[in-house]
Amino acid sequence: MEDKKIILSGIQPTGTFTLGNYIGAVRNWTKMQEDYNCIYMIANMHAITVRQGPAALRNHTVEAYALLLACGIDPEKSVAFIQSHNPAHAEANWVLACSTQFGELSRMTQFKAKSEKHPDDINAGLFTYPVLMAGDILLYQSDLVPVGIDQKQHLELARDVAQRFNQKYGDTFKLPEAYITEVGAKIMSLQDPTSKMSKSDDNPNACIFILEDKDTIIRKFKRAVTDSETCVRFAEGKDGINNLMSIYSVVTGKSYDDIEREFEGRGYGDFKIAVGEAVADHLAPVRESFARLMANKDYLKECYTKGAETATRIAYKTLSKMYKKVGFVPSR
Ligand code: ATP
Ligand code: LTN
């Protein structure tokens, strides 16, 4: 790999990507491929912290991989792989867990939210999830981690764990930084604009899935919850409209001022249709490319096998350093 900064990020195969995943994460990943050494991962080990049917997980994993490529990740330029194909992740997880405190994991808001959502399955994996994630990042000596704002707390924990390990055992890990864009770092639910748009939302109208057809996308935007005003403007308390404006801004490249001018004197109805159309048109090439890729599973397999080989080679350099530092005796 050339001497460029290292980017790493991951996405869970818990369902088709939403517009939130696309705008907050994957869209930015594609843009970084020229200037950085990029490593992107389908985090299937993270996904089983919440119950997944085995067949669904298998399908979603291959689909998520195809979606990464369909969104523009080029497997020739970036390393794109499936987490469970690289055993270093599970191994690093254990060692790092022994440098992570119970108290700091207890403070993770995602753990609290997911425990509330699944009170009958508050498993240990859900609790230690951020340790696995810290390993994902630290194994590759990543400089930057492009994520949506919901992952910021996990990133901070990864830095703390790395720092603690470095202090205890000597310099081992580079300290990673979160890379979070200003617009689109948190796309909100279309039905409850005070909560995050999430793949696993029970209400299908709350989410735009990036493979949905144009009519469905427009219909969902038409039903989006807004407020009782009629003026399209970005302002405090107008969560629904603010959300639609940031989506429209990202897919069209227009500023908030441009958008306010464009819709001056026009109602929310017109604006919602315009957002729906712009989003559907923006996503059309992704849908087409996804269909082509899914018709060629052999090619996908070739790509993820190769990705896993490269990822494993890079990660084991760090893992063997970790093992040495903590005092594990080498087998030969
Ligand atoms: P789940 O609902 O299963 O927890 P998710 O939709 O939150 O899934 P993840 O796989 O956890 O998706 O996240 C993948 C990436 O997408 C992360 O970088 C995350 O920060 C980002 N992301 C997720 N939802 C949003 C959102 N609504 N707005 C912006 N970024 C998001
Ligand atoms: N936890 C992340 C997915 C993820 C990730 C990572 C993101 C797993 N490993 C490493 C960045 C870096 C999420 O989006 N829920």
Task: For 165-204, write each residue's pLDDT tens digit.
Answer: 999 999 999 999 999 988 888 999 999 999 999 887 889 9
Residue 2 is predicted with a pLDDT of 63
The whole-angstrom separation of Cα 136 and Cα 315 is: 9
pLDDT band at 313 (very low <50, low <70, confident <90, very high): very high
Q: What does the mean pLDDT of the chain come to? A: 96
Please list every protein residue whose CB sits less than 6 Å from any atom of ligand 2: 8-12, 43, 46, 133, 136-137, 145, 147, 151
Does the active-site annotation cover 199? yes
pLDDT at 251: 95
Rounded Cα distance, 6 and 145, in Å: 9
Please tell me the distance between residue 116's alpha carbon and the centre of ligand 2 in angstroms.
Answer: 20
Residues with CB under 6 A from ligand 1: 11-12, 14, 18, 20-21, 23-25, 147-148, 150-151, 185-187, 196-200
Q: Give the Å distances, CA to CA, from 180 to 136, 151, 287.
A: 18, 9, 26
Average pLDDT over residues 127-137: 98
**What does the chain come to in residues?**
332
Q: What is the pLDDT of residues 232-280, one digit of tens each?
A: 999 999 999 999 999 999 999 999 999 999 999 999 999 999 999 999 9
Answer for the pair 15, 52: CB distance below 8 angstroms, yes or no: no
Under CATH, which number does the domain 6-184+297-326 receive? 3.40.50.620
Catalytic residue among 199, 254, 306, 325: 199
Greatest Cα-to-Cα distance within the chain, rounded to the nearest angstrom: 76
- Chain position carrying tokens 């400089």: 143
Of all atoms in ligand 1, which is nearest to the CA of residue 12? 10
The fourth-level CATH superfamily of domain 214-291 is Tyrosyl-Transfer RNA Synthetase (1.10.240.10)
pLDDT at 1: 59
Catalytic (active site) residue 152: no
Say whether 57 sits in a helix, a strand or coil.
helix
If one counts every other C-beta atom within 10 angstroms of the C-beta of residue 5, the result is 13
- From the CA of 46, the nearest ligand is 2
> Mean of the pLDDT values across residues 213-240?
95
- How is the chain split into domains, by residue range? 6-184+297-326, 214-291
Query: Ligand 1, from 8, 26, 142, 198: best to mutate by most atoms within 8 Å of Cβ?
Result: 198
pTM: 0.94
Q: Which segments of the chain does DSSP mark as H helices, in order?
A: 19-21, 27-31, 44-47, 54-70, 88-97, 102-106, 109-117, 124-138, 152-169, 214-222, 239-252, 256-262, 268-294, 297-326
Please compute the mean of the pLDDT values over residues 112-139 and round it to a whole number: 96
Percent with pLDDT over 90 in the chain: 94
Two tokens, residue 269 = 């109805």
Our answer to whether residue 196 is catalytic in this structure is yes
